[in-house]
Every structure is written in C-alpha cells, then in structure tokens.
Amino acid sequence: MAINLSELKIRLISDIDYLNYKNFFCGNSSMDNFLKESAYYLTITKQAATSLVWLENEVVGYFTLQNHQLKIDIPIPELIGSTHLYIERIAIRKDLQKSGIGTFILNYILEISSEINERFIFIDALIEKVEWYEHRHFESLIGDEKSKSNKDGLVFMYLDLYNDSLVDSYFGL
C-alpha cells in the first residue's frame, strides 16, 4: 500500500488514545503488548516517552525514547559518563511495514536528537532488523554480537551524529 508520508502525524501518547491502538498489530507480540500495557504508564511517570504515529485517525506505528546512560565499558571516550538518546522501541503496523514509515520515524528521531544536542543514539535492535539499521548508518557496538545468537535476540547498536565534514568545512579545511 502506498503511503503519503507527508500525511503522517506524530504526537505523544495520551489517556484518550487506547481505543485507537488497542488492536495495533506489528507482528511482534512483545512490541504489541508493550504499547497496550506499558507505554502510557511509562510516559506519564517520565520513565520513557512513547509517541504514536497517525495516518488520518489510525495508529500506524509508534516509538519510545528514553534518556539513557551507557552502563558498559567501551573504548569511545565521548560516551563515558554522559547521557544519550535511546530508542526503546520502533514498531510499524504489520500491513504497512516496508512503506517508509520506519524511516520517517527514524528521521524524526534524528531531528529531535539534533534539536536537543544529542550526539549518540542507541538501540537494542532485533537481530532480524540489524541490516535495516545498518543501512541507516547504525553500527554494532559489541563486535560480533550480530553474527551469533544471544538469549535476547538483540544487537546493541549506535549512531554517532558527529559530522567531521561539517566541522572541517567550518574551519575551511
């Protein structure tokens, strides 16, 4: 189904939305259940922020963001002791996957990141979605994690928004 992405609207989940997302189905029961059971509570308690993606009056996707502090030891000094934007979840309605909505959401998140001056974005990507994130310049943080199965089926990935060419251009290099 062709989607006009300019018609998509994004807004924070609210108490009046349940009837609109109670039948949301993305094909992953964990993602579906999170939206129905936890997303609103975590948003109002400021533990995370879930936004719904609307096409007309239908919820076609959602994403959840957190301010996150990295808790593993890694060799990137800029990451030590600071907080970063963490994508907790991105889900698209099953019948609309591969329509560009996921990329639309990710671009929206990148815009937010720039506006709030976040350099790094992290996600625990489902193993089956790693390639999708790699095509959007995310990298695996833990070497060969994507090539071997793990108990959670997740790969810890990050995107560094620092742009060397912009900095070089600024200095006339």
H or E stretch including 111?
A: helix 101-115
Ramachandran class of 137: left when φ > 0, alpha when ψ lies in -120 to 50, beta otherwise: left
- Provide block-wise average pLDDT over 10 residues at a time, the chain (173 residues): 91 96 95 97 97 97 90 66 87 96 97 91 91 94 63 84 89 86
Q: What is the pLDDT of residues 100-109, one digit of tens each?
A: 999 999 999 9
Q: Give the chain's domain count.
A: 1
Amino acid letter, 135: H
Q: Domain of 135: which CATH number? A: 3.40.630.30
Residue 149, pLDDT score: 55
Pair 24, 93: CB distance under 8 Å: yes
Q: Which amino acid is at 51?
A: S
- The pLDDT of residue 81: 67
Q: What phi and psi, each to the nearest 5 degrees, are found at residue 72?
A: -125, 155
What pTM did the predictor assign?
A: 0.89
Sign, Cα dihedral of 98, 94, 64, 143: negative
Q: What is the CA radius of gyration of the chain?
A: 17
Task: Give the range of the structural domain holding residue 86, as residue numbers without chain letter.
Answer: 5-170
SS3 101: helix
- The neighbouring-strand residues paired with 29 are none
- Rounded Cα distance, 81 and 73, in Å: 10
